[in-house]
Homo-oligomer: A and B are copies of this chain.
Amino acid sequence: MRRLAVYPGSFDPPTLGHLDVVERAARLFDEVIVAVGVNRSKASFMTVDDRQASLREACAHLDNVQVASFEGLLIEYATRAGATAIVRGLRATADFEYEFQMAMVNRRLRPEVETVFFMTHWEKSYVSSSIVREVALLGGDYSGLVPDAVGERIAAIVRARTS
């Protein structure tokens, strides 16, 4: 039996914390889909295409990892994809409660899909996408918070916005 995990998120932008979770999931599952959630009603920093492209570059060294995007309810996407599990990273107590609620609702909707959690690595646990966006848009140094490939795309976005 091949076990497939879906790792969903908005990845706007992807951070070193996200990459850490992908690498760990890739060792535990036969296949991992990093799935960018599309939310048409929310303004984004990076386009969905950009997010997918930079995730593909950042995960190029991982044979069993694919990048995709999805709309609609995550648990239905994961079911259609044939996932054994949904993977999530936990960074802080505040994450815990939202994640607990979603895991319970998803379990009720589709008991055959498991949700598993990794603790984000300590050196990366203070890095959220929103802090990266804030630092980048205010002209701070975000290298070392995001994978290199992502850094170049952020630089282009910041240049475009501030010129």
Chain A residues at the B interface, C-beta cutoff of 8 Å: 3, 24, 27-28, 72-73, 75-76, 84-85, 90, 92-94, 96-97, 99-105, 107-109, 114-119, 121-123, 125-128, 131, 134-135, 138-141, 144-145
Point out the residues of chain B lying under 8 angstroms from A94, CB to CB: 94, 97
CB nearest to A27 among chain B residues: B114
User: Assembly of this chain: how many copies?
Assistant: 6
Q: A135-B105, A138-B73 are in contact. Are A126 and B116 (CB under 8 A)?
A: no
Q: Is the CB of A126 within 8 A of B140?
A: no
Task: Decide yes or no: A101 and B126 within 8 Å by CB, A108-B144, A115-B118 being known contacts.
Answer: yes
Q: Give the contacting residue for A117; candidates B102, B119, B134, B138; CB below 8 A.
A: B119
Shortest CB-to-CB span from A116 to chain B, Å, is: 5
Least CB distance from A49 to B in Å reads 22
> Which residues in B have their C-beta under 8 angstroms from that of A135?
73, 105, 109
Selected A-B contacts with CB under 8 Å, 7 pairs: A73-B138, A90-B117, A93-B96, A93-B97, A94-B97, A107-B121, A117-B118
Chain A to chain B: the 5 pairs with minimum beta-carbon distance, closest first: A104-B126, A117-B117, A73-B138, A101-B126, A92-B97
5 other A-B residue contacts (CB within 8 Å) besides A73-B140, A75-B140: A73-B134, A92-B97, A103-B119, A107-B121, A117-B118
Whole-angstrom distance between the alpha carbons of A85 and B25 in the complex?
Answer: 11
Of all chain B residues, which has the CB nearest A119?
B103
Complexed CA–CA distance, A94 and B139 (Å)? 27
